[in-house]
Amino acid sequence: MAPGSGILGNCSMHHLKRLLLALYLLHPCSHASFYLVHESGQPRAQICSLVAYRPHGRRTLFRPLPVAMRQLFLSNTRWYIAMEIPIRYAFTMLADNNRAPIASRFRGFLPVVVDIETAGFNAKRDAILEIAAVTLDLDEQGVLSRCETFAAHVEPFPGANLDQESLDFTGIDPYHPFRMAKPEREALDSIFRPVRQMIRDTGCSRAVLVGHNAAFDLSFLNAAVTRTGIKRNPFHPFSTFDTVPLAGMAYGQTVLARAVEAAGYAWDNDKAHSAIYDTERTADLFCTIMNRWNAFMLRDATQDAPATTNEGTE
């Protein structure tokens, strides 16, 4: 049998499908094969394939099992499931060679954490004052982490409303000379340019905004794109990953500061409400939740799967 092959003793179809689904969610792969193997090691016949990728992002988990193989599997004969997957460590499937691992994790979308500091709550009327974006990376072990941070101070657009309560809350002086603020179009270009480049480099199809109360940030981003006439917005126009429900699920906390602390990170109130600081803490929170979920899925899969045995190997 090929390197990385393993035998799952007396594995039921229910257990096999649960294990496959867990593996697929953790590490989608380009191809993996499964075989029926008699206890003596002979004969063996391929019963199904796991194929992750299809043109235009479509994918299927199982190819249909032949009727004869299904009947054989359900019989009382002592057969085993052999799992032949090219792996470097347990339960890791190889990604498509033409795409980075992160392109396989989120259905071809690239998660980019964004925070926007504003002078109010009305996306069409109130000014954007700061914007920051953090790109993420997924290594071969499936661990999600921060990659690069991009940020800009933004000049209020002509005629923009500046709500004094919002300015007092963020502590931002829109016209402070040391802000080195950029016009809105230039500021957005400085964020969009590296995001587009990472989409190309990773083989992703589009960026998806990750944020704490993500709909708020996306509404201001979309309004600014419309206002400035940008034609190639790399972000999906309505889909987001929101760390508010994710943190509520994982830690029982929905306030960013408390959720970050619950995830094991320090929170500095003096740095809060800076776009860079809030974005990087949100990125840490999102990565931690995703990584904990992966660990949970792997543990659940290994607990539900039958014990591994070397019986019947060649």
- Provide the annotated active-site residues: 273
Alpha helices in 2-115 (DSSP H): 13-26, 67-74, 101-105
Between vectors from CA 288 to CA 282 and to CA 294, what angle results, nearest 5°?
140
* Helix, coil or strand: residue 231: coil
Please check whether residue 33 is in contact with residue 87, taking contact to mean a CB–CB distance below 8 angstroms: no
**Cα–Cα distance for residue pair 204/9, rounded to 1 Å:** 38
Helix and strand totals (H; E) in the chain: 9, 9
CA 217 to chain centroid, in Å, comes to 18
Please check whether residue 66 is in contact with residue 47, taking contact to mean a CB–CB distance below 8 angstroms: yes
Please check whether residue 268 is in contact with residue 134, taking contact to mean a CB–CB distance below 8 angstroms: no
Alpha helices in 75-160 (DSSP H): 101-105
Please check whether residue 123 is in contact with residue 220, taking contact to mean a CB–CB distance below 8 angstroms: yes
* Paired residues of 112 in beta bridges: 135, 209
CA distances from 60 to 64, 194, 298 (A): 10, 32, 21
C-beta atoms surrounding 257 within 10 Å: 15
Residue 35 φ then ψ, to 5°? -130, 155
4: left (phi over 0), alpha (psi -120 to 50) or beta: left
Strands 206-211 and 235-242, bridge-based pairing: parallel
